[in-house]
Structure 1
Amino acid sequence: MKILVLLLALAYGHALERGRDYEKDKVCKELSALGKDDFRSLSLVLYSRKFPSGTFEQVTQLVKQVVSLTEDCCAEDADPNCYDDRTTALSVLSCASDSPFPEHPGTAECCTREGLERKLCMAALKHPPQEFPTYVEPTNDEICEAFRKDPMEFADKFLYEYSVNYGQAPLPILVSYTKSYLSMVGTCCTSPNPTVCFLKERLQIKHLSLLTTLSNRVCSQYAVYGMEKSRRSHLIKLAQRVPTADLKDVLPLAEDITNILSKCCESTSEDCMATELPEHTVKICDSLSTKNSKFEECCNEKTPMGIFVCTYFMPAAQPPELPAVKLPTSKDVCDSTNTNVMDQYTFELGRRTQIPEVFLSKVLEPTLKSLSECCASEDSTACLNAKGPKLKKELSSFIDKGQELCKDYSENTFTEYKKKLSQQLRAKLPDATSMELADVVNKHSDFASKCCSINSPPLYCDSEIDAEMKNVPKF
């Protein structure tokens, strides 16, 4: 399906193009190119992504209004003011107290504005990423039962549910996968042997399915972190996975994957992520396969996507015995020609610890900020000498607490981890009842399952880490 930046140029559009005639022309051309059915399906994907907290009924109501508006205003005999009048009416309706449409955080602020300013304000609103997808694919029998009952309703609900859950995947990839999936359902639910058909068809779209879910994960993190923090995050993860490597081995890779995400997560090209990720895996293997046996194993995977998945889910390695890392001096930090000093410090911290990246990124941000602030002071050396001991103490304390929270998690199965955790907490809390102990174990293990892996979601874990750090049990 051809993808252009289209519908969101309407009341909720993200294209900040100026000129109503241009917007109308663009949308009308898209309707003509796609046809009503594909235009409607694409609308459903777009608005489900944009309003992941909206109900199915709210999103489909908005889609109905947008498709109707587009059809009416793109007709040859349409009033010249149709497009502008109808999109304005749509934005007014979205601000009504009884609006049938989904609401964004920040909608109330936008509704204090008027006309085009209001539309552009709404266009800029974004929901945070859905870091824990809840979509569960039904069984083959359930799929076909729902499909045979009402093919259009089945397709609409699938597009809505999948797009809500995997909305950070690049739009062309998401559209391509959902279209392939619905084609599979239409083929297999009308075939003589649906089970065999599903098996065969799922193998055909396996690569696309993996690309969709994985790109959703990496783009979700990028959406939260942005360019610079994302770069630092990937540097930490690579340092932890291959602590025997040097900065010169991993820094170009961290920069490369960050550049790919900045280019592809919002790209309207179907080939962006599919082309760039395989090229990235070649660089990974060239740089790291001789530095670490696990990376060497990953680089023996049959496909580039297999290599990327293998390296992405690789846990942190056991840190080597190294002397404690020292804070960089004011001379190094404030030397504008020494651009890698902060990267070197981040890398050295990462390779010395197994503390999950979300912890290390969180504590590094204020540390690096304090170091930079000293460079802006009158006496940078005195500033760093004064702040240095406190920064080192806070950093060390935070890392120690993070290691306590995540102790044993990555080295054990979840069942074994909970068993060890129960034993440790029983020794720590001898007076707790069995129910109280079970509650503490469940709470702690739930935190660990979400925030103690190398690819933990940063948005969720940020507030959870704050809460846990207030009262960390000493094992």
Structure 2
Amino acid sequence: MGEGFVGKNMFESDHIDFEMPVRFLYEYSRRHTELSIPELLRIAETYEDLLGECCNTENPPDCYRDAENRFNETTEKSLKIVQQECEHFQNLGKDDLKYYYLIKLTKIAPQLSTEELTFLGKEMVIALTTCCTLSEEFACVDNLMDLVLGELCGINEYQNINPAVDHCCKTNFAFRRSCFEGLKADKAYVPPPTSQGLFTFHTDLCQAHNEELQRKKDRFLVNLVKWKPELTEDKLRSLLTDFTKVVATCCKAEGPAACFSEEVRLVLSPRDSTGIAGHTEGSRTPRRTLLPPSPICRAGEMTTFLEHICNNQGIADKHVFSDCCNTNNTARHKCFLLHKRDDAGYSDIFQIPNSEQICEMHKENQVSVKERELVLLTKKQPKANFSEIAKLATDIKNLHQTCCEGNAAACVFGRSQLMNYICSQQAILSSKFTPCCELPEPFRGECVITSENDDKPDLSSLPLSRFTEDQFVCKQFTDKQDDFLQE
């Protein structure tokens, strides 16, 4: 642990009251660009907890000596979760991994519609299949899985799913994923009394292509868990296997519909004495379906932006996007979202922020938005000085507030001003912004967001004593705890 910045002269006293926690997050993030955004926020929260504990002891320096171990323990705990998830991927394979998450998600949130649950399960699998073969699997998995949980919490914002899910969605953003990891089946959930309408199939199932057939199997499994949530994972998988055999058998029969009715009844009969015929899968009253998060206009802007990138061969080749440009619009967007440069210095999965998630987060906790933006900016621009990063984080937080309030004109003007400022300061922010700032104004923003991280500076190890042992730390923490931690 470094011993720099120790003593009375490390900071002027008029700066310490607002800089210390944010400065710590900045310094830690630029030295650990390999960590995920949620993990860096967990470290910052651990630091704040440490201040709360140590400043209330008779000998704070003795208490602070455990700081580095506390930070390492936080990271090791998160790493263990990611390793377990990637082990599931390696051991189960893509389809079985999806079934694992469909069962898990349906048990903890059975109130969601079948469409919402199958969507979330598929997104979980995409995150793991994308990340678990990468050398940077920890940050990649942690970032993308948290985005999926953000989708789940976006649904919860509009319809309170159940108390346990609501609690995890409202917990500290940094620890949201570990909260969800600890959730069990919702014991208060009351399943439908019969299976009527859940398991009726017709001859069109036999004409379904592989992808549509797979969707039917996914829906069957989710509905099965909704109907009998007490069944074990092994039993649910066994019934899914039986259903797959029924499809193969009945599609060869002379009357597939009658065969489906009888064979599916036999598969489920030990658990359903009421019968299952009489309703089609689509006859139930639909719940609100999970819709794509971006409005139509943003989707159009994204299509135009990606088209511009692909038409500019220099940009496409420079950023290794040629393979994405050879696909159609929908597949192209997903390819860009999941793209990874193959150079050793790149440590983040390519992401385009979800504006709706940011607005929901902003509504819940403006501090979390500012901290998250500070981490994003520091990871992307690790050579930039603290004052520039802090200014941009504040400006972006204020811009989010303007945009989330629905002031479209001010939102567009604010984005333009922000991009103009970034391009005017690119020499001190990031060497990677130059190609973006040469683009027409409507395309600068997306290009800056999706540009690769700047090269990591050659920094010494973080002198933790700078943020713990100075006499002003505990004084400010005690006198102005709320302002100190939230600024």
Q: What is the TM-score of this pair, normalised by structure 2?
A: 0.34
Higher relative contact order (CA 8 A, sep 6+): 2
